[in-house]
Amino acid sequence: MAVLLIAEHHEGALKSGTLNALSAAASLGADVDVLVAGQQAGSVAEELASFAGVSCVLISDAPEYADQGVENVAALVTELVKASTYGHVFAASTAFGKNLLPRVAALLDVAQVSDVVEIVSSNTFVRPYYAGNALATVESADSVKVLTVRTTAFAAAEPTGALAPIKSISVSHDTGLSKFLSADFSVSDRIELTSAKIVISGGRGMGSGENFALLEKVADKLGAAVGASRAAVDAGFVSNDMQVGQTGKIVAPDLYIAVGISGAIQHLAGMKDSKIIVAINKDEEAPIFRVADYGLVADLFEAVPALEAALS
């Protein structure tokens, strides 16, 4: 039974999480078809065709998929699955994947398994819940398994010399249920949180949004991404797309520097798989020190500028 992987892309660029989900999908050993639904997304299809594990790229190029409206894309995916013999549907566990796959699963009348971190067999998967305090191994009895994959748990697929065929499919699904009005994407030269090798995050201790500039200066020196705890987002310091944690982004960089973050379980859920964790906090009792490889008890307003200077 083949696997259908849903590609995520934006303005002609493939989103990197798709390549982690591709590795997970390919680990089943079956053919993997990758669906690119969009408009003028041919370059995304061509890029995908060169990656290891891709058997075929399916491209559905139509205006109704241009804005990635979930109602239309879910209808398309559901029809593809019903018309074929796919045993699995995969997507990365990103805002896009989390929005789409539960809808697809319900349309297929099957369960969806969220945030898979390990594929034990074709019907058995491991996923964290309770803010990562427990890992459930679940066995699916459904004919089609619909999974979102935690991107930090699977290495990204690599390009190969070979090119998989690209097949155009003309299935139109304009449900007319929703319309795209506008997007407001933070334009930043900074590397994305979920693919950064180094992440420096600030918490409530930062005191204000302006003070995040201190972290940005260090990030510039290290080529790092900047994140935040939920407390910092709640306090209005920074935008929600910077949130690392149970209900934000899950990261697992080589180095994670937590600054002014107490270390609530909800935050740890988003970063505890990082290779090296550094905590800088003036409260020596802060729970973050219990998971930190290197802890520095210090006032962040002195330590962070000193760190920037030491890296110069």
Partner 1 sequence: MKVLVAVKRVVDANVKVRVKADESDVELSNVKMSINPFCEIAVEAALQLKESGQASEVIAVSVGPDACQEQLRTALAMGADRAVLIKTGSDLEPLAIAKLLYTVTQREEPGIVLLGKQSIDGDNNQTGQMLSALMGSAQGTFASQINVVGEWVNVIREVDGGLETRSLRLPAVITADLRLNEPRYASLPNIMKAKKKPLEVIDAGDLGVDIAPRLKVIKVSAPPERKAGIRVGSVQELVEKLKNEAGVI
- Given candidates 18, 243, 262, 281, which one binds partner 1 under the rule CB under 8 A? 243
Span interacting with partner 1, options 44-52, 160-168, 205-213, 228-236, rule CB under 8 A: 228-236
Give the 3-state secondary structure of residue 157: coil
- Given candidates 30, 56, 235, 296, which one binds partner 1 under the rule CB under 8 A? 296
Span interacting with partner 1, options 40-48, 58-66, 152-160, 283-291, rule CB under 8 A: 283-291
Span interacting with partner 1, options 39-47, 156-164, 200-208, 247-255, rule CB under 8 A: 247-255
Q: Which is nearer to partner 1, 162 or 177 (CB)?
A: 177
94 burial type by CB count under 10 A (0-12 exposed, 13-18 middle, 19+ buried): buried
Q: Tell me how many residues contact partner 1 (CB under 8 A).
A: 91
- Given candidates 20, 140, 152, 281, which one binds partner 1 under the rule CB under 8 A? 140
Residue numbers 146-175 binding partner 1 by CB under 8 A: none
**Contact status: 299 vs partner 1 (CB under 8 A):** no
Span interacting with partner 1, options 30-38, 45-53, 54-62, 292-300, rule CB under 8 A: 292-300
Strand partners, 277: 256
Residue numbers 87-106 binding partner 1 by CB under 8 A: 94-96, 98-106
Given the structure tokens 């992987």, which residue do they identify?
Answer: 5
Instruction: Quote the CA–CA distance of 224 and 136 in Å, as a whole number.
Output: 32
- Residue 271: left if φ>0, alpha if ψ -120 to 50, beta else—which one? alpha
- Given candidates 137, 168, 172, 208, which one binds partner 1 under the rule CB under 8 A? 137
User: Site mask, partner 1, residues 25-54, x = CB under 8 A?
Assistant: ------------------------------
Q: Which is nearer to partner 1, 52 or 298 (CB)?
A: 298
User: Crossing angle for the helix pair 212-222 and 300-311, nearest 10 degrees?
Assistant: 20
- Given candidates 2, 66, 107, 169, which one binds partner 1 under the rule CB under 8 A? 107
Q: How far is the CB of 214 from partner 1 (least distance, A)?
A: 13
CA-to-CA separations, 224 to 16, 125, 234, in angstroms, rounded: 17, 32, 23
Instruction: Quote the CA–CA distance of 259 and 282 in Å, as a whole number.
Output: 10
Residue numbers 55-74 binding partner 1 by CB under 8 A: 69-71, 74
- Given candidates 85, 139, 210, 285, which one binds partner 1 under the rule CB under 8 A? 139
Vertex 166: Cα angle to 163 and 169 (nearest 5): 170
Bridge-based pairing state of the strands 13-14 and 9-10: antiparallel
CA-to-CA separations, 240 to 67, 230, 303, in angstroms, rounded: 22, 8, 26
Residue numbers 203-222 binding partner 1 by CB under 8 A: 222
Q: Are 260 and 202 in contact (CB under 8 A)?
A: yes
Dihedral in degrees, nearest 10, Cα atoms 185, 10, 20, 149: 70
